[in-house]
Chain A
């Protein structure tokens, strides 16, 4: 879109700068409070840490020790990366099959995928946690399978939406030249689908990384915690909440995401827009 000069351009810039500062303030507030002694946090949340209140990095150390946060990062990263990879690989393959083979079975699968997008997690949570328990899926590898299953609806839907628009001739030419369906898929179809892969990866990664309820019900929490579980553990695990450790943990769990976001915000925003337009 061409940019035209706006009448109140500079004024709008000033107003939005102020709004933006207010927008990041809640996060700044948590960062400020993470350097205060815990008894001062709830009492004087808006004061800058004076010499008496200042504790240095103590809150961070306590936060990490109490929640085992470093391990939680590893667990969250493992689950997110492998769930997203599994969704991209398996769901794109499934979607291609659905698009190219028209039978009653494939149209049933497609309808089920649409259906799955409407069903709220509360409908499934109790039975899913029992089934996961029975099948011994309460570990970081098992939960990847569950995420693949629960995220399949949206992923398959997005991939089929894109694949319908790929001209059949390209694939037919590849097959005539002697490609097997597997070769055709991996060498022709999947590279064309790259934008959709990025969109699916972003939407699902945002969901899986931040999801609290599913892992808290499925994972064996004594051995593995994800980052949201670690944060909630501080709230539930002790009688009175250690606000200092809480602030430290909150900051540590936000900072990597913000760095990641600033590094690839262009792709993230584009991915969200593409996902919304197709959905």
Chain B
């Protein structure tokens, strides 16, 4: 069978591979190369070694964005996952209306990040106006505004993954523990959490990468104001490319650093939580 399929390579694989090369491989390789060059268009690239990377690390806005992003990611991962798990646990208790609540909580995920940003800008600025402040008063306002927005958006998404995980726990396991005299906390600690480890792995992965790569919501809610203090990495890179001419190489170097960071975080996270999964 393998032999007869093999001849069909051009039909089965080539369309995807051509698009993949244009959309992914070529930009990636060119991106790595250009991070070592000075250029304003792709054609006038001159090799300059590591100087783009040096400039990137000397840029205080980039370093600030890195810390801001890291803090945001940690806070959002913790809050989203804890809340999503609690809501999922409650919604699997089986009371009237759980399906409707699930539908409502998931809904914001269908709306694009940019639109969400403008919705919350209206609401949060309206509330802050009572205190004579706006979202762009200091970077802390933008930070917590963004956290509230992301909670509103992502708790529903993670919740349905946790619900699926909780519903997959065999009922007799919990019953056996109860007969053995385990308390509610012990059931949670020694049965529920180990059994939903795959859900925890995927949810922490999704919230981590979503937090780290956040762009649309950041752009819409504060656009980095005041003076780039609420700018996250993705937005910082965007403005390095398109905000100041002559810095395209630095922008590309920042992008490579960003990619390496995301890859490391994804790998470490995957190792850590996968190792805690139990075989069913």
**Chain A residues within CB distance 8 Å of chain B:** 1-6, 8-10, 12-13, 16-17, 19-20, 23-27, 29-30, 33, 41-42, 45-46, 86, 90-91, 93-94, 96-98, 100-102, 106, 109, 112-113, 116, 118-128, 130-132, 135, 137, 145-150, 152-153, 156, 168, 171-172, 175, 180-182, 185, 206, 209-213, 227-228, 231-232, 235, 246-247, 250, 253-254, 257-258, 260-262, 265, 268-269, 272-273, 276-277, 279
Contacts and interface: CB of A to CB of B under 8 A. Distances in A.
A228 B19 contact: no
Interface residues of B, number: 95
A26 B120 contact: yes
Interface in B109-168: 109-115, 118-120, 122-123, 125-126, 129, 152, 157, 160-161, 164, 167
A23 B220 CA distance: 20
Interface in B10-65: 11-13, 15-28, 30-31, 34, 41-42
Contact of B13 (A93, A135, A235): A93
A257 B116 CA distance: 13
Nearest to A76: B112
B19 A153 contact: no
B2 A212 contact: no
Contacts, number: 288
A131 B30 contact: yes
Q: Summarize A's interface: helix, strand, loop or mixed.
A: helix
B123 A29 contact: yes
B5 interface: yes
Contacts of B199: 276
A231 B115 contact: yes
B72 interface: no
Interface string B240-271: 01000000100110011011001100100000
Contacts of B263: 118-119
B94 A4 contact: yes
A171 B1 contact: yes
A12 B90 contact: yes
Interface of B: 1-2, 4-9, 11-13, 15-28, 30-31, 34, 41-42, 90-98, 100-107, 109-115, 118-120, 122-123, 125-126, 129, 152, 157, 160-161, 164, 167, 171, 198-199, 202-203, 206, 212-213, 215-216, 219-220, 233-234, 237-238, 241, 248, 251-252, 255-256, 258-259, 262-263, 266
B110 A206 contact: yes
B16 A93 contact: yes
A86 B18 CA distance: 13
Contacts of B123: 25-26, 29, 45
